[in-house]
């Protein structure tokens, strides 16, 4: 859970503030762990193609949508990691949600700034709207604040640089002009630590414009009496339902700065009614009264942003950004380098592991039958003759790992006390302000034998497959769910079924592993599969395995397994 101060056992109510009490069957925890009990067992879209995008891993899933890690792939070697936001099939028919999705796509596509998560594409595939967004390699400010809280908060010069980047992104949105060139400021309305993504390079980006509105847009996608956003970060005028104005975002950024630098909540962790009362009426403590020696210049920026009279706040987000940057400069620190160093201090192991896992995923995809189809069936006119999407679930489940492929360099084991930082936090941010997200509990299925794609016409002569392209260096917290059952590489031109994989040689055996905790099993940095594992071929000898749970609140587990020649070893983990 994400806590920035106070008793870590207390739940953070801010995600619940705008949504009322949990409904039957739902469980709501801290902002970093929004969950619902009634979620599909396996994301339905993993392995599918959405136009040019190959969905490889479900990052987050909720009542209104899903976010997937995907590869944008062309007939050649062009690849790009992206985040695909899909509307959930259950709400595709809703005019309200369809309009919300369309408005978000239209708004964000027009915002082109290095401090805002970019939207690359928008479309409708099979009746389902989707957004293709920039893939961000980093952590949320909420995660950073959680790690730093034990030491009194995020260092002031680091927090100021992060907030200055956010202010610059907001300034761009506030300066938006419409197609006719007339000013049309876009107000985010949901600025919080969870919607500020801090990259490992030190740059910060604003994400989730799901409830953003132009100031001249009177539409409100809520029911009477319902608010959207996080009450603890809403300005007094936003709570009163006033017309959106850029100064609302400046108040929220002031709250963020106050909290992350002091390691505690500004308006407490009570219910939404009490929080609203505090936002509207309670005195706002000077940072120096909470933490002696707090920098006066930064305190002045925060207290100006937290004026309850909007006319007394900063006149613009850019003005606030410049004051923050002046403070950073006065400390003698190099802003972005200091942010990168701070993340390296708190998240070095997570960063290394995520990058190793993504390289593994990229390598697996490059060696899969899907990729062979891409490279080997490319007609002269330049369009791949790809199998229909319905085939890709099975093909992905049966992708091939070459027996001679070297394992990636091992990743140092972490102490069980350290938690895995999931990529899902990015997905949670991207999914949108009004969503209740889910923790999926994947289950494995054994795919039926897959026939090779039929030949409509004799294919051109097939050259030997080219070597796999170099893996893309981005990051992912874990590989796609579900064990990957090996299959033989049948000749693409044959209409017969692929030959089944031969039984393991006498020098190897098989592994079956079940666990009460759903998760992904690794040996070093090599991904074995997602629980449950059934009959996975393994070499003879002792294997040290690690289970990384899907739920970041669960501890990783380690176990040593002895594989006997020609035998199956079964392991059960009960925790």
Catalytic residue set: 190
Q: What is the DSSP string of 526-562?
A: EEEEESSEEEEEEESEEEEEEEEESSTTSPPEEEEEE
Edge-first strand listing for the sheet containing 138-140: 138-140, 196-199, 204-206
371's CB contacts (< 8 A; 6+ apart) are: 365, 468
Indicate the DSSP class of residue 154: S
Q: Are strands 508-515 and 568-573 parallel, antiparallel or unpaired?
A: parallel
Distances (CA, A) of 403 to 11, 29, 488, 538: 48, 43, 12, 11
Indicate the DSSP class of residue 330: H
Distances (CA, A) of 303 to 154, 242, 298, 320, 339: 18, 22, 9, 11, 23
Residue 328 to residue 270: CA distance in whole angstroms: 33
Residue with tokens 């969870």: 194
Short-list 53, 51, 62, CA closest to 80? 53
Q: What is the DSSP string of 9-73?
A: TSPP-HHHHTT-SPPTTEE---GGG-EESS--SS-TTTT-EETTEEEEEEEEEESSEEEEEEEEE
Phi and psi angles of residue 193, each rounded to the nearest 5 degrees, phi first: -60, -25
- Could you tell me if residue 265 is left (phi over 0), alpha (psi between -120 and 50 degrees) or otherwise beta? beta
Cα 234 to chain centroid distance, Å, stands at 24
CA angle 137, 141, 144 (to 5 degrees): 90
469's CB contacts (< 8 A; 6+ apart) are: 77, 79, 366
Short-list 172, 166, 174, 226, CA closest to 192? 166
């Amino acid at each position: 859970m994400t806590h920035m101060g106070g008793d870590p056992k207390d739940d953070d109510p801010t995600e619940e503030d705008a949504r009322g009490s949990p409904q039957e069957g739902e469980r709501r925890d801290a902002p970093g762990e929004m969950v619902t009990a009634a979620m599909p067992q396996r994301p339905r879209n993993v392995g599918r193609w959405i136009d040019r995008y190959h969905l490889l891993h479900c990052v987050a899933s909720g009542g209104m949508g899903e976010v997937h890690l995907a590869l944008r792939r062309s007939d050649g070697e062009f690849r790009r990691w992206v985040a695909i936001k899909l509307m959930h099939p259950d709400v595709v028919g809703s005019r309200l949600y369809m309009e919300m999705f369309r408005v978000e796509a239209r708004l964000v596509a027009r915002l082109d700034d290095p401090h805002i998560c970019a939207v690359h594409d928008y479309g409708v595939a099979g009746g389902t709207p989707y957004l293709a967004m920039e893939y961000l390699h980093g952590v949320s400010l909420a995660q950073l604040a959680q790690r730093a809280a034990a030491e009194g908060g995020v260092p002031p010069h680091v927090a100021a640089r992060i907030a200055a980047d956010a202010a610059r992104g907001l300034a761009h949105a506030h300066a938006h002009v419409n197609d006719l060139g007339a000013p049309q400021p876009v107000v985010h309305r949901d600025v919080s630590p969870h919607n500020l993504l801090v990259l490992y390079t030190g740059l910060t980006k604003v994400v989730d414009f799901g409830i953003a509105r132009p100031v001249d847009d009177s539409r409100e996608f809520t029911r009477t009496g319902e608010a959207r956003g996080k009450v603890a970060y809403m300005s007094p005028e936003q709570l009163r339902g006033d017309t959106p104005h850029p100064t609302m975002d400046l108040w929220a950024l002031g709250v963020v700065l106050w909290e992350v630098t002091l390691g505690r909540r500004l308006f407490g962790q009570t219910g939404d009614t009490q929080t609203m009362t505090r936002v509207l009426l309670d005195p706002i403590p000077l940072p120096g009264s909470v933490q002696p020696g707090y920098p006066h210049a930064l305190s002045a920026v925060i207290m100006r942003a937290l004026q309850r009279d909007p006319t007394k706040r900063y006149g613009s987000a850019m003005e606030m950004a410049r004051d923050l940057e002046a403070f950073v400069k006065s400390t003698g620190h190099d802003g972005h380098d200091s942010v990168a160093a701070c993340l390296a201090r708190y998240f070095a192991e997570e960063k290394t592991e995520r990058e190793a896992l993504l390289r593994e995923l990229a390598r697996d995809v490059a060696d899969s039958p899907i990729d062979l189809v891409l490279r080997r069936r490319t007609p002269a006119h330049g369009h791949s003759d790809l199998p229909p999407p319905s085939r890709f679930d099975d093909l992905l489940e049966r992708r091939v790992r070459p027996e001679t492929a070297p394992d990636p360099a091992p990743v140092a084991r972490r102490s069980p006390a350290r938690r895995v930082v999931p990529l899902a936090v990015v997905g949670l941010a991207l999914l949108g302000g009004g969503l209740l997200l889910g923790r999926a509990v994947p289950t494995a299925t054994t795919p039926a034998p897959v026939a090779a794609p039929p030949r409509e016409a004799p294919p051109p002569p097939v050259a030997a497959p080219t070597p796999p392209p170099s893996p893309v260096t981005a990051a992912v917290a874990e590989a796609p769910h579900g064990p990957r059952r090996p299959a033989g590489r049948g000749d693409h031109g044959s209409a017969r079924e692929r030959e089944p994989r031969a039984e393991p040689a006498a020098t190897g055996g098989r592994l079956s592993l079940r666990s009460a905790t759903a998760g992904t099993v690794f040996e070093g940095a090599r991904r074995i599969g997602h629980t449950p594992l059934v009959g996975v071929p393994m070499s003879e000898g002792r294997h040290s395995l690690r289970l990384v749970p899907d739920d970041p609140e669960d501890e990783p587990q380690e176990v040593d397994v002895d594989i006997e020649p020609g035998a199956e070893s079964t392991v059960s983990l009960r925790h």
